[in-house]
Amino acid sequence: MTKKNQIYKCEICGNIVEMLHEGSGELVCCGEKMNLINPKKEEVGTEKHLPVMERNDNKIEVKIGHTEHPMQEDHYIEWIEIITPQKNYRKNLKPTDKPFASFTIKEEILKIRSYCNVHGLWEISL
């Protein structure tokens, strides 16, 4: 059984998918079951991955993380996502970008997630 907003990865080809609608089936890629990526919610190690948010009314700025995460060809933040009750906002990043995203959001924010191509999925709840 999948759940909305879950992230699954194929360990063979690297495909990553996000659930838009939950169902009872099992996700399969390259002939194998895809792995559910459980987000980490506490910092581990010296590199920082948890999103840090600043909010001024509707202007939301998110950086990764308290100490800026590296943005190199082989190790970078691929995307930053904000989840509200009705919408998902995501900024895709390149290694040449800063680990930063800004959004205009009026509604309540439930979660903010980041995805590092080496260290996986990270999440804070608000």
| Region near Fe ion per CB under 5 A, out of 14-22, 23-31, 57-65, 117-125 | 117-125
Nearer to Fe ion, 19 or 43 (CB): 43
In whole angstroms, how close is the CB of 37 to Fe ion at the nearest point?
14
Q: Which two tokens stand for residue 28?
A: 């399969």
Report the residue number whose CB is nearest to Fe ion. Answer: 116
Is residue 84 within 8 Å of 125, Cβ to Cβ? no
Helix (H, G, I), strand (E, B) or coil at 1: coil
One of 60, 116, 121, 124 touching Fe ion (CB under 5 A): 116
One of 36, 95, 119, 120 touching Fe ion (CB under 5 A): 119
The residues in 35-94 that bind Fe ion, with binding defined as CB under 5 A, are: 47
Is residue 32 within 8 Å of 10, Cβ to Cβ? yes
> How far is 56 from 46, CA to CA, in rounded Å?
29
Size of the site for Fe ion (CB under 5 A): 4
Neighbours of 24 (CB within 10 A): 6
Return residues touching Fe ion (CB under 5 A): 47, 116, 118-119
